[in-house]
Structure 1
Amino acid sequence: MASATTSTATTGTSNRGFFEPSQYERCINRYEFGHEVVGHLSTMFEERASLEHTYVNALRAWSRKWHGELTKLSEYPSNKKVWDQIVSTGEQMADIHQTIASNLHDNIQPKLKQWRKDNYEKSIINYKKSKEFEKEFENVQKPWTKLLESIYEAKQNYYKLVKLSKQCEQQKCSMPVETPAETQKQIIDHYVQVNLDVDAARTKYQHLVRDVAPGAEPRQRYEANMIEIFQHTQAFEKKRLDFFKDIFTDYIKTLQQQALFNKMLDDYLRVLQTHNTPADLDAWYNNFGPGTQSHYPAFEECQDTIQ
């Protein structure tokens, strides 16, 4: 199973190359991280829809409150009419945001959930597709890893024999003059044999390394097979990114509520044009100002009689 995914699954870097053992796990992680990313996007839109609903309810509560306040408020007629229309724009704006919330909830959210379900099918604990990718990579890397292990073992054996050769040479050069001839022969023979072993180990090491050199047929075949599987993972990632672009486009459509917004604006402008300051002032003049019928005291004869 690939290691835990993080955001570096899609954007991170590594100082180890893709063709090195087990580095394909980054591709597995990227696939699995996609499931998490789709979840994040779904959660984000869910939160946005909730915010829209909250705003809708707040706007409608605000409109109800101020329609009520205006019915109790004494104000110039045309001024009050435009003021009341401002309150009505709150209701219309609530309708716009209700449409946005509904589109997020009824259109975008179901698409995200269904796509996630269709493309990240799980077995008991693993995603089926990630196991498929992993198995394909493992099948290609198994013989290659075996070759790398052989190279490592040959290298270690060669280094060990080189070290032993130097020790034998030092032993040969430091033999006392009085060393018995038989012992000298054994030391020299051992030195010669070790050097033969060094040559054989070097040849084997060099031969194995040639298989992983640039242009070598085993390496070319291995890299071609790895790239083929990598392209399978790329194809899925392209599918996910294209789907995200479709969702982002749907979101733009969600925000394009121009018809509703234009109606709200037209209604407001129509009422605004009825605003008539002189008429309001004249009405107040006639109803409450000098234009009202005022009553002044006049001399009235006393009508009382003495009883």
Structure 2
Amino acid sequence: MVGSVDLEGTELSTVPSFWECREYQRTVRRVETSNKLCNELAQMIQERAEVERAYAANLKRWSSKWLSFLDSGLEYGSGASAWKGLCVEADAVSNAHKSVQTQLIDELLTGLKHWQKEHFHKTPLPPHALKEAKLFEQDFEQAQKPWAKRLRKVYNGKKEYHQACKMERSLQVQVQNAKNDPSGTPEQLKKMQDKLKKAEKEVERTRSNYTNALNDLDAESPRYLEEMTKVFNRTQEFERERLTYFKCLFMNMQQALNVTLKVK
């Protein structure tokens, strides 16, 4: 049972789980993490595009430099042909890497930013939280609120019951001591026994309240599980969509980086 408590006083599990109060925050944060991953992946693509641009530019300069040197006429014949071939090949590879840069920026990076813009929206006012995360949080909170209210009653009922039991045990000892005390008076003993009877009634009252609170929590649990699962499944679908898009993007990026398909 979600949030069950042993009537004899075992503590609630202290291991955090999705079903405990506000532990859904970890699932909500996953939405924020997904948006951050989009930013990080965009930076990764941007940096790789810069690497491709710089390499293409260096190759282009290298090819131009040594083609110009060939114009000096110091090399001739088949040697000149081989020399020129290396420079022409470098120029073609440079164009291929420039093409990679263009594809990374114009297709992949632009596509990623467009996808991110469609799936993540920030609130207009500070701290500019993600609307999607805020909505999931509100839905989780709404689903958990009735259950959490009953759980608090269980905690309070448990505390009162244990305090009443503690008082009862203390008075039992005092009554027994009063019976064994030769200097005590019958009036003192009766007064102590009256307190004990009152404490025993308090134990029964708090035990009944505690039991009722547990039963209410039990009755609420099926609805709680169902509603929380509905919201969780929506967050799962949201994350699954991101993973599917990223997988497709990684495949396209791998293809874009295959220079052998671009060298002419």
By how many angstroms is 1:177 displaced? Answer: 3.1
Give the ranges of 4+ consecutive aligned residues of structure 1 lying more than 6 Å apart after TM superposition.
none
Cα distance change of structure 1 residues 37 and 259 upon mapping to structure 2, 3 Å threshold = closer
By how many angstroms is 1:211 displaced? Answer: 4.3
**Residue 132 of structure 2 aligns to which amino acid in structure 1?**
K
Aligned to 1:187: 192
Q: Distance in 2 between matches of 1:69 and 1:207?
A: 95
Q: Distance in 2 between matches of 1:44 and 1:73?
A: 45
SS of residue in 1 equivalent to 2:138 = helix
By how many angstroms is 1:76 displaced? Answer: 4.3
Aligned to 1:249: 251
Aligned to 1:98: 98
Q: What is the CA deviation profile of residues 46-93 of structure 1, one whole-angstrom value per residue up to 9, with x for unaligned ones? A: 011111111111011000110112222523401220121011111000
Aligned to 1:222: 224
5 Å-filtered alignment, 1:198-277, equals 198-212=203-217, 216-261=218-263, 263=264
Task: Tell me which of the two structures has the higher relative contact order, counting C-alpha pairs closer than 8 angstroms and 6 or more residues apart.
Answer: 2
5 Å-filtered alignment, 1:1-307, equals 15-123=15-123, 124=125, 125-175=128-178, 176-212=181-217, 216-261=218-263, 263=264
Percent of aligned positions that are identical: 28
Computed over aligned residues only, the root mean square deviation of the Cα atoms, in angstroms, reads: 1.7
**Residue 146 of structure 2 aligns to which amino acid in structure 1?**
P
Between 167-176 and 93-102, report the one with greater CA deviation: 167-176
Gapped regions of structure 1 (runs ≥ 5) = 1-13, 264-307
**Residue 243 of structure 1 aligns to which amino acid in structure 2?**
Y
SS of residue in 1 equivalent to 2:92 = helix
Q: Distance in 2 between matches of 1:117 and 1:259?
A: 31
By how many angstroms is 1:194 displaced? Answer: 0.8
The count of aligned residue pairs is 246
Gapped regions of structure 2 (runs ≥ 5) = 1-13
By how many angstroms is 1:15 displaced? Answer: 4.0
Q: Distance in 2 between matches of 1:260 and 1:145?
A: 60
Q: Distance in 1 between matches of 2:232 and 2:40?
A: 25
Q: Distance in 1 between matches of 2:187 and 2:86?
A: 117
By how many angstroms is 1:257 displaced? Answer: 4.5
Scaled by the length of structure 2, the TM-score of the pair is 0.88
Question: Would the aligned equivalents of 2:99 and 2:262 in 1 still touch at CA under 8 Å?
Answer: no
Q: Distance in 1 between matches of 2:65 and 2:15?
A: 64
Q: Distance in 2 between matches of 1:252 and 1:180?
A: 94
Between 96-105 and 173-182, report the one with greater CA deviation: 173-182
Larger Rg belongs to? 1
Q: What is the CA deviation profile of residues 187-237 of structure 1, one whole-angstrom value per residue up to 9, with x for unaligned ones? A: 11211221122123223223322444xxx4421211111111000111100
Q: Distance in 2 between matches of 1:157 and 1:259?
A: 75
Q: Distance in 2 between matches of 1:56 and 1:226?
A: 53
